[in-house]
Amino acid sequence: MNTTTLALIELGAVFFALGLLGRLAAQFGMSPIPFYLLGGLCFGSGGFVNLGDISEFSHLASEIGVVLLLLLLGLEYTASELVTGLRRSWMAGVVDAVLNAAPGAVVALMLGWGTTGAVVMAGVTYISSSGIIAKVLSDLGRLGNRETPVVLSILVFEDLAMAVYLPILTALLAGVSFAGGLEAVGISLVVISVVLVIALRYGRYVSALLDSPDSETLLLKLLGAALLVAGISSAMQVSAAVGAFLLGIAISGTTAHNASRVLEPLRDLFAAMFFVVFGLNTDPRAIPPVLGWAVLLAVVTALTKMITGAWAAKQQGVGRLGRARAGVALIARGEFSIVIAGLALSAGAVESELVALATAYVLLMAVIGPVAARVVEPVAGVWIRVRTSA
């Protein structure tokens, strides 16, 4: 059997298996991310079958998946919403960053993974999963709740923080000097500022350039622009993911709505490949030694996210039950945490145990978050009634 034939069979099997896993996740009302990671673990290094003939395609597909994930995330916001959210939530955002980045950094230092490992794990434990959280809030009918704008404001702050964090991480993983790292951050801040100004004042022109009444033409324009911007951003030492996110911010109005419609199926396909590839590159035999640390981090950072959300909601005058909902809504980790660990894995600058820890941690948090969001109302309701009667 020639290489092309075998690759087609393997790729077809992977896509079909992803569809089955996605349906299984839907049956349990969960995000498919943990299932995709588990699928990758089963068929990668140290798994049951090693899929070597699709490695080149899967690597490129995973890179496109990251670009599309961040592009679609950017499409959810306008520049004015980002600025308003930043003004309203900066204090809660700072509390969120301190409480949730610290546990990951501390554990990395305790395990002897050095400064680079600490920076990577800080990002993994800090950033919540916007995709999982948005889906959970929609499924539970909480988008109109009073605490939801608080949750969304914190997510906006986290996304902007990633626009600064990712260039720092990229420079650190590349082993550049301190001066080079400062240069990367400076370039990133300049690019972010320029894009926000363009989006605020000239966003309609960007949207008009990319818009098209024909879905095929619109798809080609959007995908081409996203890959171009991502590649140029990477060449300028600004993360390709950040470039895609900023392009999404610059697109607004009906163009943004139409763009989301035509890109979502493509994003789901390539994003699924990204999670699978991450699992393929993680040796499942490395997970048991770090599973205890993953559980510890899951417990600690679930509590710190709950504290963050509840405190931020209280500052906005939200009631006790709303504070509890806001806190648990932020628990889930997912795509961004895997993106961060994936960058470290690609650079080969961290220990294999760190990647295993990040995988186990995300598996836990992607499950715990949606479950906690579903059970918080009855549990918190009982607790509030007990406190009130006492």
One pLDDT digit (tens) per residue for the chain, 390 residues: 667 787 788 778 888 888 888 888 888 777 787 888 777 777 766 555 666 556 667 778 878 887 887 788 778 777 676 667 667 778 888 999 999 999 999 999 999 988 889 999 999 999 998 777 877 777 777 767 888 888 878 887 887 787 778 777 877 777 766 566 667 667 767 777 777 777 777 778 888 888 888 889 999 999 999 898 888 877 766 667 777 877 887 887 788 889 888 988 888 888 788 777 777 777 788 889 999 999 999 999 999 999 999 999 988 888 888 889 999 999 988 878 888 888 887 777 677 788 889 989 988 898 888 888 888 877 766 666 666 665
Q: How far apart are CA 329 and CA 312, in angstroms?
A: 12
**Residue 86 pLDDT:** 67
Q: In 3D, which of 319, 212, 300 has the Cα closest to residue 258?
A: 212
pTM of the model: 0.76
Longest dimension (CA), the chain: 74
**CATH 1.20.1530.20 for domain 54-389:** yes
What single-letter amino acid sits at 315? Q
Q: How far apart are CA 129 and CA 158, in angstroms?
A: 10
Q: Where are the domains of the chain?
A: 54-389
76: DSSP letter: T
**Residue 173 pLDDT:** 78
Q: How far apart are CA 127 and CA 334, in angstroms?
A: 8
Q: How far apart are CA 225 and CA 247, in angstroms?
A: 8
**Residue 17 pLDDT:** 83
**Residue 53 pLDDT:** 56
**Residue 290 pLDDT:** 92
What single-letter amino acid sits at 323? R
**Residue 204 pLDDT:** 80
Handedness of CA 132, 136, 138, 142 (dihedral sign): negative
Phi, psi of 252, deg, nearest 5: -140, 180
Strand residues in 187-283 grouped as ranges (E): none
**Tokens (6 digits) for 187:** 């370039």
- The string of pLDDT tens digits covering residues 145-170 is 888 888 878 887 887 787 778 777 87
Q: How far apart are CA 219 and CA 33, in angstroms?
A: 25
**Tokens (6 digits) for 373:** 């969001």
**Residue 184 pLDDT:** 67
**Residue 299 pLDDT:** 96
